[in-house]
Amino acid sequence: MIWYEDEVHQLEKKAQSIAGVTNRTVFYGSSSIRMWNTLDHDFAGKPVLNFGFGGSTLAACGWFFERLVVPLQPRSIVFYAGDNDLGDGRHAEEVYLFFCALIAKMQGLLPDVPFSFVAIKPSPARWHIINNIRFANHLIRQKIEKLPGYQYVDIYTPMLDAGGHPRWELFESDGLHLSRKGYALWQQILLQHPGIF
């Protein structure tokens, strides 16, 4: 986890600079969150905070949870990660266990805070592991369905075309990170889910 320390330290400084400002919807997770540069504009009038850090795995998000998320005293959490774990060769079952460990921390430290898991996206660059992505999403969704106050946000299905393949216009040229159209789709979907804001 040492390679995340510089960026995590910067986020800790950011948290200190807004100490006392609570009741925000905190977006937490990997680069799909961190690179959402229009987050404030896309959810104008809603108190949101971007606490993504680049390249992070679901395991790393759990590791740094106490340092980064708990001090913010969020009103709700929107979470995206798991993509990089699978890209690094982790199995879907491992990602599921990392998710369960994060949820255990949530329930112990922020028991009344609503939690929204954004499904792992079907990116063209990782199409070769799409079965693992589907299975990880399936396992996590099953877990969430048993947890009051938690919800699964299905961005996976709307990011596929009629033939069941990724919609290229939703991605940057690397086939991994979201384009402006991709973020616009996520915005639209998240606004339809109750309890986030």
| DSSP SS3 for 165 | coil
Q: pLDDT tens across 129-138, in order?
A: 999 999 999 9
Report the percentage of the chain scoring pLDDT > 90. 88
| DSSP SS3 for 172 | coil
Query: Mean per-residue pLDDT for 185-194?
Result: 96
Q: Please give the pLDDT value at position 51.
A: 96
Q: Which bin fits 62, alpha (ψ -120 to 50), beta or left (φ > 0)? A: alpha
Distances (CA, A) of 165 to 28, 74, 130, 146, 152: 27, 35, 10, 30, 21
Q: What are the structure tokens assigned to 131, written together?
A: 């079965």
Q: pLDDT tens across 162-178, in order?
A: 999 999 999 999 999 99
Q: pLDDT tens across 51-109, in order?
A: 999 889 999 999 999 999 999 999 999 999 999 999 999 999 999 999 999 999 999 99
* This prediction's pTM: 0.96
Is-contact 186 152, C-beta < 8 A? Answer: no
Class of domain 2-12+22-191: alpha beta
Q: Does pLDDT of 1 surpass 70?
A: no
Phi, psi at 160, each rounded to 5°? -105, 150
Quickly tell me which residue has 């001090």 as its tokens.
Answer: 71
Q: Which residues of 9-32 are buried (b: 16+ CB within 10 A; e: fewer)?
A: eebeeebeeeeeeeebbbbbbbbb
- Listed by start position, the domains of the chain span 2-12+22-191
Q: Please give the pLDDT value at position 3.
A: 65
Phi, psi at 132, each rounded to 5°? -65, -40
